[in-house]
Structure 1
């Protein structure tokens, strides 16, 4: 398991916080609420600080889903308690009363959190797979450049004899895959 450096951890926390903020703002505005710029910036900072301790290594769905749900609840409370122009807004028969969400809002938040957590966990797995592959390739490049094993043309480092090339045929390959020959008649 690879550990992440501070810069990488900050970038991951910022990406997670931006996804949380965009999801929260879009859902809040679609539900009839308003979001001030100050509340959005504060929400971004809070989400980044909450998520930062979890960015040290690869995380799966079991960590991402509750973390995303918790940040969404915090953002909903923040946006609902922030001063707004109209405290009670009716949009399409849905009354947004502030802190207590309706059943429709809970279902919508649940689906949004579930799908976003799935998306983030898949992205997390892909990111760490790429980083592991890059680490292996970088390690091989460092070994090759340092001369520890020499270049493929000259054999081992410090050796003046040319390298012995292996035959192209595999040692343990089955070479007769055709039907058996017909019996010879005399």
Structure 2
């Protein structure tokens, strides 16, 4: 199913905002700062990369590398845009552009969970659209013919067949008292 322009813009905007929020949040959590210009550039970059790919449903396998690549680009852009002093570098999770192992693990974990969340939201979005399309088509489909709720009456009822009960226990009933006396 292909998406029209408003749906593509909506899906791309959600992806770009989530991607930016993850990048900014991770960078701030690591001790860095992010300027407004760097955030705007990150949002534009995420939007520009995601829009051509938003024409159809994407699964986790497509969302994860896209999100991971954009996180690397944002990390580098945020690091280059931030002028640091040696005191600030000591408090940040990395020095320059090379992140430490803890930051790589945190980024990978957060990116994986966010990609899974986006993939589940993507599947839900397309499932709702499909169900909505089926319901709307059913509403506008012309009814072929009118069918009554009750079947037409016949003159006499059909003859009942006799059925032999195969598993009938003939000893059913109250217990038989045996008199020994």
TM-score (norm 2): 0.79
Cross-structure match for 2:27? 28
TM-aligned CA distance change 1:95 to 1:24, over 3 Å? closer
* Residue 149 (structure 1) aligned with residue 138 (structure 2): no
The residue that corresponds to 1:171 in the other structure is: none
Match of 2:57 in 1: 58
- Distance in 2 between the 1:54 and 1:12 partners? 10
Task: Measure, in 1, the Cα distance between the counterparts of 2:131 and 2:169.
Answer: 51
Distance 1:30 1:184, change over 3 A: closer
Write the deviation string for residues 28-59 of structure 1: whole angstroms up to 9, x where unpaired. 01111110011101110110010111111111
Q: How many residues were matched structurally? A: 159
Q: Kindly indicate whether the alpha-carbon contact (under 8 Å) linking 2:20 and 2:39 is maintained by their aligned counterparts in 1.
A: yes
3-state SS of 1:164 partner: coil
The residue that corresponds to 1:89 in the other structure is 89
Q: CA RMSD in A?
A: 2.5
Q: Which runs of 5+ in 2 are unaligned?
A: 152-165, 173-181
Per-residue CA shift, 1:103-129, capped at 9, x if unaligned? 111111110111111111111111111
Alignment correspondent of 1:170:
none
Runs of 4+ in 1 over 6 A off after TM superposition: none
Give 1:85 deviation, angstroms. Answer: 5.2
Q: Secondary structure at the match of 1:90?
A: helix
Secondary structure, aligned partner of 2:90 = strand
Choose 1 or 2 for highest CA Rg. Answer: 2
In structure 2, what is the equivalent of residue 158 of structure 1? none
Kept in 2, the 8 Å contact 1:32–1:90? The answer is no
Aligned match of 1:138: 136
Alpha-carbon offset, residue 181 of structure 1: 4.5
Superposed counterparts of 1:49-128, under 5 Å: 49-84=48-83, 86=85, 88-91=88-91, 95-128=93-126
Alpha-carbon offset, residue 83 of structure 1: 3.6
**Distance apart, 1:183 and its partner CA:** 3.6
Greater relative CO, 1 or 2 (CA 8 Å, sep 6+)? 2
Q: Distance in 2 between matches of 1:76 and 1:42?
A: 12
Q: Secondary structure at the match of 1:84?
A: coil
Is the Cα contact below 8 Å between 2:33 and 2:82 reproduced in 1?
A: no
Structure 1: give runs of 5+ residues left out of the alignment. 156-162, 168-178
